[in-house]
Structure 1
Amino acid sequence: MTSPLFVGIDVSSKHNVVCCLTRDEVKRPLSRFTITNNRPGIQELKDRISKLVKKHGFEQVLFGLEHTGSYSTHTAIYLQQHLDFGVSDKLVYALNPSLIKEFKKANFLDAPKNDRVDAWYIAAKLRAGNLPHPYTWSEPQMALQRLTRARYHLMQDLTRESNFLLTNLYLKFSDYTIAGPFKQNTLGVTSMAVMEEFTSVEELVDISLDELITFLVHHGKNRFDDPEAVARSLKKAARSSYRLSDSMADSVNLAMASSIRVIRAIQQELKVLKKAIMDHLETIPQTLDTVPGIGPIFASGILAEVDIHQFQKQQQLAKFGGIAWNQSQSGDFTANRTRLIQSGNRYLKYYLFEAANSVRVHDPVFAQYYAKKREEPKEFANKRALALTARKLVRLIFYLLKNNQIYHPEGGMPQNHK
């Protein structure tokens, strides 16, 4: 059989640098060229590779490119889905940039860094073997991924803006989140109304109890079991809080009003995304939402990042999601304290931890496991317990997706999903 053609592509926003290697030539490229990163460019790539295939009789072509976010997406999709190079076997690999970096470091200590060299190293890595699962394209999964990743970024924005709001809230009303009635739901509708309506703690102290009760009932839509107790708690927290000068209070109120508008806008966009995510999830067969605590949002966030066919073992899925621990061992010494690896898919890691935190509340098996790990005499007990619970959840997710089975809590037997 004729040796395969290895095509390394270094992708950028404007251009793709291409290097073609064979099994025979160790360093010298069979061909090297640069194309634009657009439709005419990808067509030129097709024509050039097709000519090489025809001229040298290659029966297999391996394409490799670094997974550089959106810049590599179109190229990978066209190579895998739309282009025919006249060979019976075509494989496309979207490689983690760190994989190429380590390959370069392992083989050449002082290698230069430029697009031509990088394309060569990508092709050389293809030739060296030990490659990940080939790239696959799933339109429903990619569409869902755009939505779940957008939600992830909005949640990061919401957390950052909320934290900034709380710093200003402490200046304005220092005991609000410590002794106030809304410390468990500081960003709730009624709590936000209090922040906006009362410009100083003095106003809360001076308002009559009946007026404050009426205000709370109105904005809380009569959902408080004991609005008078809420009002008294709020006034007590106001009396014990620090006071601000008028000029300082004006600046703090303006900053808080800006943060509140941003938070409300983000919350509205999250509602829109939630509806779209739920609609897309209905088009994807899955069983993750049979696990108590994994609703459509967490199920979508996991499914959008995972092609279960790429993983042969649950350990591989855990490492891909960043839920694996570094080892520190030398001779007879083994470190007792280790950290989670820094690599892995950050979106998947986020949704796995969020799902684990929800499942440990709703499922008795995971609740018991979390409580057991939290009680162990270790540092960072809560974070450690949640990470271990997420790792346990990965094993379940792998099993359910691999076997297309429904989860039955408390040791029930899983069944095939119809």
Structure 2
Amino acid sequence: MFFKEDLELNQLNLMVSVEQPNKIKKYRDIFEENKNDQIDAFYIADYFRIQRQVNSIIKEEEYLALQHLTRTRYQLIKQLVRTKQHFIENIYYKCNTLSKELKAEGGSVLSATLVTLMTEDYTMDQLAELSLEEFANLIQKLGKYRFKNPEGIAKAISKAIRSSYRLGKVHQDSVDIVLGVLAKEIRSLEKLIKDLDKAIDDLVVVLPEYQCLTSIPGIGPVYATGILAEIGPINRFSDESKLAKYAGLYWRQNQSGNSEYENTPMAKRGNRYLRYYLVEATNSVRRYEPEYHAYYKKKYAETPKHKHKRAIVLTARKFTRLVDTLLRNHQLYMPPRSVIDK
């Protein structure tokens, strides 16, 4: 984008092209030459002289800005998941049966109330000494009176405290410090993600394609903005097969003579962020759309192993065609006529 908008380069009437570095490297490796900056520059130029590259349309500023936000959000979500996993691991040291007892009551150790209980100035012994009514009232107060069954939660926590082993004071203090640090990190990450969501919402309103994707049942703001940010203007791709290849959702033919191999692994090249959003969005859409649910079940039954992984990526390949059609025609999603008739 910077090269495309450079005033001095524009005066030379140059064309800006984006190419994968590994393709140029493979072309460079064909020739047994020394490696230095001058020779490398020659073969980069030589690669473009043979015109094997595709002169793609550069993304507009709005798409690049959206991509910056969505990729940062993606990384923060991964960091939040890791932090929560670490928090659960340390909860086990403090009260090793808590997760099991809460699960039976439909609760979670990651709820804001439980995080506060485990990290504020409450020892396990103090909580165990509370009566059921006092404990339930404390839980309701911390949960801002949103619990439907605070007595059940209080009973589950009390049971977990009684049945859990106790650590020594020194070890317990270290666990409490770690839990406090992790709780602060969880709250901080959740706030940062909310800030990013607001920034994404403010930016995405200028992109008309956003409504096209959110019209698909099962596609919400996260998947729609993620897909849009990675694809950019749909006219960068001549057809849906190029879009699928860009996402890495394609399978190379493996044929020699009269033999054609049926076991062809997915390429997994291209844009891993777009592939992630397409696959996750497909997994959501198949729960709402009978057409995609039926296709998924068909592919699921075709093989004895890797059933879900194979079925979901094949369904994602089908979903890519839908995304391409809606974006290219600037239209909202309409379910198949057979579904409407029902």
Which bracket does the TM-score occupy, shorter chain normalised?
0.7 to 0.9
Question: Could you tell me how far 1:237 is from its partner in structure 2?
Answer: 3.4
Match of 1:94 in 2: 18
Matched, 1:114 2:40: no
Which one scores higher on RCO, CA 8 angstroms, separation ≥ 6? Answer: 2
Matched, 1:316 2:242: yes
Matched, 1:104 2:31: no
Question: Could you tell me how far 1:242 is from its partner in structure 2?
Answer: 4.1
Q: How many pairs were matched up?
A: 335
- 1:131-150 to structure 2, matched below 5 A, reads 131-150=53-72
- Unpaired segments ≥5 residues, structure 1: 1-72
Distance 1:339 1:225, change over 3 A: farther
Match of 1:395 in 2: 321
Question: Could you tell me how far 1:378 is from its partner in structure 2?
Answer: 3.7
Distance 1:111 1:250, change over 3 A: farther
Match of 1:357 in 2: 283
Distance 1:236 1:382, change over 3 A: farther
Match of 2:179 among 239, 244, 256: 256
Matched, 1:124 2:46: yes
Match of 1:160 in 2: 82
2:131 & 2:308 partners in 1: Cα distance?
A: 42
Distance 1:211 1:363, change over 3 A: farther
2:25 & 2:5 partners in 1: Cα distance?
A: 25
2:297 & 2:162 partners in 1: Cα distance?
A: 38
1:164 & 1:172 partners in 2: Cα distance?
A: 13
Q: Deviations over 1:277-297 (max 9, x none)?
A: 111111011111111222222
TM-score, normalization: structure 1? 0.71
Distance 1:207 1:281, change over 3 A: same
Q: Contact 2:57 / 2:236 at 8 angstroms: preserved in 1?
A: no
Superposition RMSD in Å: 3.0
Match of 1:290 in 2: 215
2:325 & 2:301 partners in 1: Cα distance?
A: 28
Q: Contact 1:199 / 1:253 at 8 angstroms: preserved in 2?
A: no
State the one-letter code of the partner of 1:407. Answer: Y
Q: Deviations over 1:123-148 (max 9, x none)?
A: 11111122123342412111211211
TM-score, normalization: structure 2? 0.85
2:123 & 2:256 partners in 1: Cα distance?
A: 60
1:203 & 1:318 partners in 2: Cα distance?
A: 58
2:243 & 2:107 partners in 1: Cα distance?
A: 35
State the one-letter code of the partner of 2:214. Answer: D
State the one-letter code of the partner of 1:289. Answer: T
More strand by share: 1
State the one-letter code of the partner of 1:350. Answer: Y
Q: Deviations over 1:197-253 (max 9, x none)?
A: 476655544432112211222233333332222222333334444433322222122
Question: Could you tell me how far 1:411 is from its partner in structure 2?
Answer: 4.4
Match of 1:299 in 2: 224
More helix by share: 2
Question: Could you tell me how far 1:406 is from its partner in structure 2?
Answer: 0.9
Q: Secondary structure at the match of 1:119?
A: helix
- Unpaired segments ≥5 residues, structure 2: none
Match of 1:67 in 2: none
- 1:2-401 to structure 2, matched below 5 A, reads 74=2, 76-79=3-6, 83-87=9-13, 90-105=14-29, 107-108=30-31, 110-181=32-103, 185-197=108-120, 201-286=124-209, 287-306=212-231, 307-325=233-251, 332=259, 334=261, 336=263, 339-371=265-297, 373-374=299-300, 378-401=304-327
2:112 & 2:36 partners in 1: Cα distance?
A: 53
Question: Could you tell me how far 1:268 is from its partner in structure 2?
Answer: 0.5
Q: Contact 2:56 / 2:237 at 8 angstroms: preserved in 1?
A: no
Q: Secondary structure at the match of 2:16?
A: strand
Question: Could you tell me how far 1:185 is from its partner in structure 2?
Answer: 4.7
Q: Secondary structure at the match of 2:17?
A: strand
Aligned-residue sequence identity (percent) comes to 38
Q: Contact 1:277 / 1:297 at 8 angstroms: preserved in 2?
A: no
